[in-house]
Amino acid sequence: MENEQEQIQFRFANIMILSKNVNELKALQQIKNKEDEIKFNYNFTINIDTKVNAGLSIVIQNVHVIINDIDTLDVLAEFKIAFFFVIIEFDKFISLNKDGVYHIPIQLDSILKPVCISTARGIIYSELRGTYLQTSIMPVIFMTDFAITQNK
């Protein structure tokens, strides 16, 4: 008797930066205050929301990253990035439960989310290049660091 789980195959279909905002006023305020160096203590808040388009066999991971100044809690930058994955044999692996919510197997979810976070890290790093936030690099995130919530 085989005890192996069947591997779920998927591929990137698209990546879209839905929105980005860098608060340049914060840097200007510090320059006006004649501070020698612009220094910030950063905090990254990361949320991932999963959507499903069964008609297209797509799972969409929406990653929302907010970079805050730890001292003032001011929002320094904010990014919303959508990741679209085509799931091969979608109907075999993604099911609709009795509440009308799609169930994504943990083996797939535990691959997609880290891929999205890592890719978002690279996109954000690239987008912040040349700004006062260019030294703010999103830390490595493990799935165990996330609180899982479910919206109904």
Model's pTM, two decimal places?
Answer: 0.83
Neighbours of 152 (CB within 10 A): 5
Half-sphere exposure of 88 (CA within 13 A, CB side): 7
Rounded to 10 degrees, the C-alpha dihedral 139/144/145/150 comes to: 120
Beta bridge partners of 16: 82
User: What six digits make up the tokens of 98?
Assistant: 């009795």
Full pLDDT tens readout for the chain, 152 residues: 343 568 999 999 999 999 999 987 766 665 555 555 556 688 999 999 999 999 999 999 999 999 998 888 889 999 999 999 999 999 999 999 999 999 999 999 999 999 999 999 999 999 999 888 888 888 887 766 665 555 54
Rounded to 10 degrees, the C-alpha dihedral 120/75/144/47 comes to: -60
Phi, psi of 89, deg, nearest 5: 55, 50
Cβ(59)–Cβ(94) below 8 Å:
yes
